[in-house]
Every structure is written in C-alpha cells, then in structure tokens.
Amino acid sequence: MTNSCRIITYRGVAIRHFGQVDYEPCLDAMREFTAAREDDTEDEIWIVEHPPVYTLGLAGKREHLLRETTIPVIKTDRGGQITYHGPGQLILYPLVNLRRRKINVRQMVRMIEQSVVHWLASLGVVAYGSSERPGVYVTIADTETKMASLGLKIKNGCSYHGVSVNLTVSLDPFLNINPCGYPGMPMTRLKDLIADDLLPSFDEAGEALAKHLIDLITI
C-alpha cells in the first residue's frame, strides 16, 4: 500500500494506522508482508477501514449474496463465507507469527474474540464469543446479534486477515447477504449501544482494541 500510516509500538508489536484503503491493495500488501517474513520479523497489527465491498471466503458460496448491488464482490483467501466491509467499520489485521508465539489457530481466533469482548466491556457493553461460530455477539431484546466478524488465513505459521467491528457503519448492506453464511443473522453496531459522548473515535477504538489483542498474544 502506498498510504502513509501512523505507527506506534506496544509490547514489541507495531500498530499501524492506515486509514481508509481499498480492499485488494490491502490484501496484496498483507500477502507480500507474510511471504517476505523471516523468523525474527516483528509482528504487526494493521488498523484499516475499507470502502464498501463484499468479500467472499475460500469456501464462500455466492448464493449467500441475496441480491446484486453496485457494491463489488471480491473473492478472497480467508476462511468463512460472505461479509460486508464499509466506512465506519473498524478492521484489525493481525500479522502474527503464531508458530513463534506457540499459538494455534483456534487459540488465535479465541484471543481475537476475547480482545473485542474485553474492549467492549471497557465501554460498558456486554458481549461474548460463541463456541458454535466465530465472531462476537451481544444480546438485544433476547436476540443474539452480531457485532464483529472474523476470518483468518494462516501461511507458513503466520496469520493475516482478521476481525471487523461495527462502529458507525451503515447496517443496510448486510441486508443483501446472509452474514457469514447465516440466513437472517441480525447485525448491530456500537453507535446504537452506547451514548454518543462515549463513542470513541475510529483511531481511539482501533488502538485500544489492538492493545487488548497484544496483551493476549504476548502473555
């Protein structure tokens, strides 16, 4: 990616704020970073936001796109089915050497989920992961509602792709899909769960969430 970025380092992990970037150049950059890694390459977490796009995982079925729209659909190499990315959605891409940190894939998924749960708890939102399907959920009016979606790719023991958390993103585009392959899965966003004066900025949210994740992977 050619975008300049703001970088901070926390517990030896670089956190890069890229701002809004197109999906495909970002994917290419993650692949290139992962392919070029050596055993001692430091881990990084990228914080990004994408223009509107639907992404379809490796085993994704296009039938989960319920209707054609002007939003592009991109086949990608993460796990999972179809999801939506757009402005107002916080995306963290953890580029982590799992082999060096002795973390397996299932543990990494749970750590990502727990980082979102811990961060939301700091804002007064009760959320949880699910043993049946990846992601982070909140219960609204007795209905399980999805707040964050997750998909990873592991290559040579290193992760890329990551987690998307709905902050202020429009939820309307989710109505055009079966989110993550689940028909009728309701979606929610942080903006609708807390007071406006408690809502963090995009950069504040990204940095706080990244630090929660780093705390877990560096134990």
Question: Does an H or E element contain 56, and which?
Answer: strand 53-56
Q: What is the DSSP string of 89-101?
A: EEEEEEE-BHHHH
CB atoms closer than 10 angstroms to residue 129: 19
**What are all long-range contacts of 123-127, with beta carbons under 8 Å and residues at least 24 apart?**
123/190, 123/194, 123/198, 123/200, 124/194, 124/198, 125/190, 125/193, 125/194
Beta-carbon count within 10 A of 188 CB: 20
Q: Whose structure tokens read 């290419």?
A: 28
Q: How far apart, in whole angstroms, are the C-alpha atoms of residue 196 and residue 191?
A: 7
Non-local (6+) Cβ contacts of 68 within 8 A are none
Give the catalytic positions in this structure: 180
